[in-house]
Amino acid sequence: MPVTLRKTIMTRLNQAVLSGLGGVLIAAAFAVPAWAQSSPERQFGTAAGQIVVEAQDLAKAKNYGAGAAKLEAAIQLDGLSPYERATIHGMLGSFYYELDDLASAISNFEQAILSGGLSAEETREFTKHKALLMIGSGDYQEGARLLQSVVATPTNPCGRHAEPIYQAYIKAEIYEDALPCAEAWFAAASPKERKHYDLLNFLYHHTDRQGQQADLLKQMIGRWPDDLPLWNNWVSLLAQSGRDEDAFEVKKLLYLAGRITEEAEIKKVVEYYQYYDMPYQAGRIMEMEMNAGRVVANGENLVRLSELFRQAREYERAIPVLKKAAEITGRGKTWAQYGEALYNEGRCEQAEAAFTRAMDLGYDRGKSWMFVGNCWYESGQLERRPECDGAIVKDRDNSRKIALNDKAISYFKKVPVTAKNAGAARKWTEFVTAENDSFDHYCAESEQLRIDLCFMKIESAYKMEIIRGEFYLAPKDQYCLAYKDEYDNRYRRGI
């Protein structure tokens, strides 16, 4: 399919869905001349009205946080009418949008709608704004459906909002629902550009409409070169003239149509995907073609595949590929890449073994031991802090956190003093050692606070002994009896 499919469409959605919406919402909030309405039920009382005016003034000064705080207070007033509640919630929604708190904005628009104080047209507008915010916050499917429910007309399933609706459905990968709005957008476009054809081509492919896709491709071929040799020539000319993206689109279409089967050409397609920052898709193509036997699974290609998955941060997928590549190539660098992928997945023992193999093959010892040390330290961060029991750390020697810290220190100390990483290794050693020591200091301080508190309770018990006729500590303070002899030796000697 000749489109920068997901990249182009998703970028457009990310940049455009909420573009200009803030101004619309604020204008909607400010367009409420509260007590100037002719109908009594659409007027503000004095108390709420004064707060709303103050909130509007704060918003005009871009102080939306303070304005929202005032409105939150106003909504708690007793006796608010549905109209007052609707207006205040609507303003709160617009203020929270400006504060980038979409969840609160959506919630307040919902409350405005449910208040019963809006007209039918106002309800429709607030519902539309709520839907757009849902899409902007990542609730693509429900946001698109809600927006479509209020903007659809008998002759147009998407009204004037075809673009955000189809984009949201594509984000949610609900291509069947995206298609009607995309077709409406296509039909209304004048003049029709490449992006309009690209979109329908993308959706026809993903909705299995081979016939309609074929008709569309026929139109595209009429506007662009119309046979395979010409298309190949066009790819070359586009690349030579710097229009690599268009060349990529044509190359993708040829590949997806099954017209590219040679290893060298498949690798060019993979390079295009990587060049346009789609390493995961490039890796999937490389992997699929290796499995099909059209790309040889040799050391060089396996290393290439692992690099693509690592670039896409798909470390789990890269690990078995890297292991196989390291075994085939026998290169220290490849074993180190394998170890780094294991490190990123927190598999420290396996990472240590991989880096050890890399060092045996001549790879940098400083880098290797730093990775291993960091892996064990980061694993220790997932363990709970040792607990205090008296003035010592409870089961200190059995603390897994401290044991992993100690293990990390041992590897940082293995970094050669001549290595570039020697300074960093020394600082890490000092830092982790200080972290271990801090547990002991914390427990000692906690114990001293415990003693001081008990001394206060014991002193109070002695003072009350005259009245009670006995030394008495409450049941919850019985633990303080352990410190009574120490208190007596310090403060009651000779009494």
CATH of domain 5-138: 1.25.40.10
Give the type of residue at 84.
E
The two structure tokens encoding residue 426: 């020394």
DSSP letter, residue 392: E
Does residue 129 contact residue 24 with C-beta atoms inside 8 Å?
Answer: yes
Other Cβ atoms less than 10 A from the Cβ of 155: the count is 7
pLDDT score at 237? 53
pLDDT score at 394? 55
Give the max Cα distance, the chain.
Answer: 111
- DSSP lists the bridge partners of residue 156 as 153
Half-sphere exposure of 377 (CA within 13 A, CB side): 20
Q: Is the pLDDT of residue 159 over 90?
A: no
Closest CA to 444 of 492, 401, 396, 400: 396
Q: Mean of the per-residue pLDDT values for the chain?
A: 82
d(CA 212, CA 200): 9
Give the type of residue at 260.
I
* 3-state secondary structure (DSSP) of residue 355: helix
Does residue 166 contact residue 182 with C-beta atoms inside 8 Å?
Answer: yes
pLDDT score at 396? 59
If phi > 0 it is left, if psi is from -120 to 50 it is alpha, else beta; for residue 119 that is beta
- Which pLDDT tens digit goes with each residue over 89-115? 999 999 999 999 999 999 999 999 999
If phi > 0 it is left, if psi is from -120 to 50 it is alpha, else beta; for residue 202 that is alpha
Q: Is the pLDDT of residue 222 over 80?
A: no
Confidence of residue 350 (pLDDT cuts 50, 70, 90): very high
* 3-state secondary structure (DSSP) of residue 388: strand
Percent of the chain past pLDDT 70, that is, above it, reads 82
d(CA 223, CA 197): 11
| Cis ω before 191 (30° cut-off from 0) | yes
List phi, psi (to 5°) of 299.
-60, -45
d(CA 110, CA 124): 12
- Which pLDDT tens digit goes with each residue over 459-470? 888 888 888 888
- DSSP lists the bridge partners of residue 389 as 392
Q: What is the arithmetic mean of pLDDT over 18-30?
A: 41
List phi, psi (to 5°) of 392.
-120, 165
The answer, as to whether pTM is greater than 0.75, is: no
What would the DSSP string read from start to end of 102-125? HHHHHHHHHHHHHTS-S-HHHHHH
Does residue 329 contact residue 303 with C-beta atoms inside 8 Å?
Answer: yes
Closest CA to 383 of 392, 371, 395, 391: 395
pLDDT score at 440? 65
- Which pLDDT tens digit goes with each residue over 226-249? 545 446 545 665 676 576 777 787
Helix axes 140-151, 162-171, angle to 10 degrees: 160
Q: Where are the beta strands (DSSP E) in 44-167?
A: none
- Which pLDDT tens digit goes with each residue over 33-73? 333 344 556 778 888 888 899 999 999 999 999 999 999 99
The two structure tokens encoding residue 291: 């499995």
Pairing of strands 392-393, 388-389: antiparallel
Q: Is the pLDDT of residue 495 over 70?
A: no
Where do the domains of the chain lie? 5-138
